Structure 1
């Protein structure tokens, strides 16, 4: 009998109805969730355009609550809303209104950052709202009116004047602009060359940096070695400075000496040139040097100025006077050594040139 009841249509209909009630109850609990815990917040928005009670509250695109109330407050609108306790606002909270189109109702989007939970007693003040169509068109109308020149007749044609001036300035530049655009297009069609050059430059720079890094020890040693060299240069430069200062002092003195005595000094040097040449004329030994002495002595006996002819230097060999008795003996002896050197005695005295006599005794003629 029980098997017959279970197999009957009445039992199947009953079980289907019970199952439908259970599914409906589970769906209601899942979708409606009447007992889900909520957290109340508020935000001061610039305006409430598009917001109504019951509009969705979203966080990163996911619905987390709904708007519960709207009322004016100060220069803005206070929006009260609830958010699921599982998604509390944290850190620095902010809010804005968003919509899929310019005519649809808006949803309230809230954001948070890392940090402690936002106190629901404090309203969110970091808020923004999109501009309405009226505000947008009003701004566009204002810009167009300013461009047109407003009510000033002198400025109403400035757009036309600007376009005319631009047309004049760009007249005849079309081919050049076309060439520039063509070259730019060619470069953009084959950017590999430019990229290759840039890559090559980066590679070279990398090699240079690597070389400096690898040889930094040697560079540092070289730079350290510059210290004593620079110190030496400083010391030498101090001496050079002193030398230059000395030259600055000496040069005016030399200038004065040359100005006052340059003529006589140069004349004396000109006169001494033949004597210097004579002294350096292939002197092979002491005997040759000594043999030149009489000639030099003769030249110095009377030296005249080549310009005026006046006697400049007079010189004579020393003479010796002897008593008469001794003078005869000495004169006879001198004539034996150098015939004709002694001219005789006068008043018991004789005069002899000692230099030719002495040099002649050693073979000088």
Structure 2
């Protein structure tokens, strides 16, 4: 009984282990691997178990290979840790003629949509190496085409004969050509930094032109419009050019006949401009004060009297106390402050009675009539009604 129980336990444990092994073989790969189907035009030399690589790093294996009419479906298994772009390509790579081949997936994933599990790479995005048999076939065909034919030396033979005839006696020239070519190559090599800089600058120029495409198109349109305008105005433009040619001829004739006079005038003009340069500060002063002088000249003109009017202003007599007391203090032997105080104390009341702004002669022109109503031009038609009424003229006239 005990033996039977041990046997059943052993059988149960074995069954569990087998189930776990099956699960690990079937389910675990599906959780850790990604299945991809790539369609190739052929799969010569590719077998199940061959590597699948990205940038030369093995990331999976070839699962199985199935023919599908004129193409071959290669089932690939790739580790899920490695992402693939949605537009991935598959290439069968043959490093040498005898080594095993592998499938290269390209390009490496950077960002964007991913190729999902069970994804397909169509034949348009796959490639296979050229087989040695095809290369040998093409080489045989080439040698047959270039080789000799019955009664003829063949294309290659004719080329060799012609080359020998052309090079015969030109060895020195050919040697000089090779030497010059080597020297030119050396010069380019020594200046490769400048060449690369020129290429980079050319790249910058091309980028700038690419970014200015709209402006270039607009410029071309304007140029086309100008060309069309010139084409439609051919006759007037020709007449204008003919007149210009005649004018240039007249100018040349004039200069030829009056060369001495023109030269003398230019010399005098140079002397005049030199005088202006020497008197630059005086001219600057004149230009600085001229606007004020002209404005004052306009202000002293009285249209009512049709004359220039003015009044002398003696500024020191507007405050005679300060003027006279300052003069006495300056001439006196006492201190300036003490003398000024004494002058103000004794002479101040008297001097205040003779203070004036204008000389006490004639009339104060500032209070006279400057212009009659019919002598005023207004900048706007509605301004006369807004102005104050004019002052009464002598005799009650307005």
TM-score, normalising length from structure 2? 0.38
Q: Normalised by the size of structure 1, how large is the TM-score? A: 0.41
Q: Which has the larger radius of gyration?
A: 1
